[in-house]
Amino acid sequence: MRIDVLTIFPEYLDPIRAALLGKAIDKGLISVDVHDLRDWTHDVHKAVDNSPYGGGPGMVMRPQIWGDALDQVCAGDPAPRLVVPTPAGRPFTQALAHEYAAEPRLVFACGRYEGIDQRVIDDASTRMRVDEVSIGDYVLVGGEVAVLVMVEAVVRLLPGVLGNPRSAAEDSFSDGLLEGPSYTRPEVWRDLAVPEVLLSGNHRLIDRWRRDQSLERTLHRRPELLEALPEEAFDKHDRAL
């Protein structure tokens, strides 16, 4: 998978080369290019913003610079899927992470200030698939952190990135539920004991216990996830809960 990121703060993306993502780059599973948007400016101040039409606070990122940058970075075959982080976008979910993990090319366009002139998104949409995506109902200063979040969620789904592929398959959201609690040695820590069933060696009972924990946690913390699941997602033991 090829990933390009356009930003006015390339150094913000340095963590993309650390830890698991860095290993994925070293193994050749992904290639990442971070581009400085200011390379497409023509004035001495390398200005990327201007005041908003219609008035109001803040500044808006100028369309000419974004347009030229995207023309160059998105050129080539296949056309990439362009992802524009914005709090006004569709929610980023595990399902969308899976969709992105199947793409050969992703380009991320990091906004700053009040965001990017909307015509940049409208224009790009005539040539490629464009998603305006939000990582949550809060407002960040810029799109860089949102890109780190999305890239990490996507890249860990690629074959060969995680040591054990079962990890991703058993994570929260893979079956529509939150994952239950995890424990490791020692058996008792500060008078708190590991649930006995986990020491039983009985895998049928352990699986049932994990499923119940997962259902209970989801019911208490994210009931809307349970409501969204179809009837077939539950077995007769689940319904007894």
Q: Is 138 annotated as a binding residue?
A: yes
Among the listed residues 59, 128, 140, 162, the single contact to ligand SAM using CB under 6 A? 140
The per-residue DSSP string of 105-131 comes to EEEEE---TT-B-HHHHHHHTTTSEEE
110 binds ligand SAM, rule: CB under 6 A: yes
The answer to whether 87 is a known catalytic residue is yes
155 binds ligand SAM, rule: CB under 6 A: no
176 binds ligand SAM, rule: CB under 6 A: no
CB of 210 to ligand SAM, least distance (A): 32
Tokens 């924990």 map to which residue? 213
Q: Which of 108-116, 155-163, 194-202, 204-212 is the region at the interface with ligand SAM (rule: CB under 6 A)?
A: 108-116
**What angle, 0 to 180 degrees and rounded to 10, lies between the N-to-C axes of helices 144-155 and 94-101?**
70
118 binds ligand SAM, rule: CB under 6 A: no
Annotated active-site residue in 52, 87, 208, 216? 87
| Residues β-bridged to residue 61 | 49, 116
Which of 206, 8, 38 has the alpha carbon at shortest distance from 111? 8
135 binds ligand SAM, rule: CB under 6 A: yes
Whole-number CA gyration radius for the chain: 22
Phi and psi for 57 in degrees, rounded to 5? -75, 160
Site map (CB under 6 A) of ligand SAM, residues 86-105, x = contact: xxx-----------------
Distance CA 222, CA 234 (A): 16
**Site residues, ligand SAM (CB under 6 A):** 85-88, 110-112, 114-115, 134-136, 138-143, 146
Residues of the binding site for S-adenosyl-L-methionine? 111, 135-140
